[in-house]
Amino acid sequence: MNYIGSKLSLLDFIEKSVNEVTSGDYASVCDLFAGTGAVGKHFKKKGKKIVSNDIQTYSYVLNRHYIGNHKPLEFNGLKQEISDLDKSDNKIATVCDYLTNIPGEDGFIFTNYCLGGGQGRQYFSDENGKKCDAIRNTIETWYKAGKINEDEYYCLLCSLLESIDKVANTASVYGAFLKSLKKSAQKPLELIPAELILNEQEHLVFNEDANKIASEQCVDVLYLDPPYNQRQYATNYHLLETIAKNDNPEIHGKTGLREYKQQKSLYCSRSQVKKAFSDLIANAKAKYIFLSYNNEGLLSLEDIKEIMSSRGEYGFFTKDYHRFKADSNRGYSADETIEYLHYVKCH
């Protein structure tokens, strides 16, 4: 998923830096602003115990699968519904193929976010909007009927969110839709199975306020990747939130935005970010704290150093980083920014 602030290209840099500071002596990692879960997934594959959190529901869905699910999924409750499931060597793929081929429905997404729905919005083709509605409703029906368990439910939801995003008719985020269907948005929605990462650890996944989780969960490494600027993730990914929640919310405006007051981040507020960050660092239960932040963020480098130094021995690593451009027409001062990975060895 093309995601603002994704650390996918920085994973090796982050791991190398963490290993250098900790001498490799850590067993648990908390990914506090998890987003699509790239950092948590990386360390899960290294055998670490992961605590994952994000205030957005779509992020919780992704991480509930990628981090929370760590044992094989059998889908035993669907054997009567899907005839060839019993013989399948890849049960997730078999269920996803079945869902890909069910008839579309005129549901909430089609009605409100496709041209055929009559609201003037074109986030998806009519066919893909209907298919998304049908798949989402079927997953919910199966879950409520006890045909799939919680782990299987989030696996399928994660697969849907990632698959529908691939055929979205946007520049990258959901702040606006394109007037004409781009080539990738014309492709029919295919439910691609999300990767299942198996290991022996029990992981924790939360959908809570970041400061609350930091003060409650004891971990070796606390990794922070908060928003850097005033763009709220709730508005940029509102459609994925609606698909994840399946709550048919009241929407408004040209883009069909849902209400998001409860999900506004203090880290996007110039007047509140310093206090929020100070409280987080002061109350965090971790041996080591790492903060990814670039040189154009709302928090100054001086503020970060002052706040993190209050907990122990402070330092940082840097790496040049290619800027994420959500809008090709927006003016930027440079194509590259400097990504800082600040750290503190807590007393």
Question: What tens digit of pLDDT does each residue of 262-281 get?
Answer: 898 999 999 999 999 999 99
Distance CA 303, CA 105 (A): 52
pLDDT over 90 (residue 324): no
Whether 318 shows a pLDDT value over 90: the answer reads: yes
Cβ distance 291 to 308 under 8 Å? yes
Same domain, 155 and 233: yes
Q: Which residue has the higher pLDDT, 315 or 294?
A: 315
- Same domain membership, residue 299 and residue 256: no
Are the C-beta atoms of 265 and 183 separated by less than 8 Å? no
Question: Are residues 249 and 340 part of one domain?
Answer: no
Segment 33-48 mean pLDDT = 97
Q: Are 164 and 128 in contact (CB under 8 A)?
A: yes
User: Do 143 and 175 sit in the same domain of this protein?
Assistant: yes
Residue 104 scores a pLDDT above 60 = yes
Q: Are residues 215 and 330 both part of a single domain? A: yes
What span, in angstroms and rounded, lies between the C-alpha atoms of 188 and 126?
10
pLDDT band at 259; cut points 50, 70, 90: very high
Residues 207 and 167 in one domain: no
Q: What percentage of residues in the chain have a pLDDT greater than 90?
A: 89
pLDDT of residue 320: 85
* Predicted confidence (pLDDT) at residue 77 exceeds the cutoff of 90: yes
Residue 293 has pLDDT above 90, yes or no: yes
Domain identity same for 304 and 186: no
Could you report how far apart the first and last alpha carbons of the chain are, in Å? 38
**Pair (191, 286) in one structural domain:** no
| Residue 296 pLDDT grade (very low, low, confident, very high; cuts 50, 70, 90) | confident
With a cut of 50, say whether residue 325 has pLDDT above it.
no
pLDDT of residue 322: 64
Identify the domain containing residue 299 by its residue range: 1-70+202-227+270-347
> Model confidence at 2, in pLDDT bands (50, 70, 90)?
confident
pLDDT at site 230 = 86
- Looking up residue 40, the CATH number of its domain turns out to be 3.40.50.150
Least confident range of 137-141, 225-229, 328-332: 328-332
Which is nearest to 248 in space by CA: 113, 123, 125? 113
In three-state secondary structure terms, 225 is coil
Same domain, 171 and 260: yes
Average pLDDT, the chain: 94
What is the pTM for the complete model shown? 0.94
pLDDT of 328 > 80? The answer is no
What is the pLDDT, as a whole number, of residue 337? 79
- Distance between CA atoms of 167 and 162, rounded to whole angstroms? 9
Full DSSP string of 116-173: GGTSS--SS-HHHHHHHHHHHHHHHHHHHTTSS-HHHHHHHHHHHHHHHHHT--SSSS
Q: How far apart are CA 344 and CA 164, in angstroms?
A: 39
pLDDT at 86: 92
Query: What's residue 223's pLDDT?
Result: 98
Mean pLDDT of 90-110: 98
Express each pLDDT in 175-219 by its tens digit: 999 999 999 999 999 999 999 999 999 999 999 999 999 999 999
- Specify whether 186 is located in the same domain as 316: no
Q: What is the pLDDT of residue 335?
A: 60
Total domains in the chain come to: 2
Pair (23, 3) in one structural domain: yes
Three-class SS of residue 31? strand
**Domain termination site, one of 264, 288, 309:** 264
Among the listed residues 59, 48, 28, the one whose alpha carbon sits nearest the alpha carbon of residue 285: 28
User: What's the pLDDT at 323?
Assistant: 52
Are residue 248 and residue 304 in the same domain, yes or no?
no
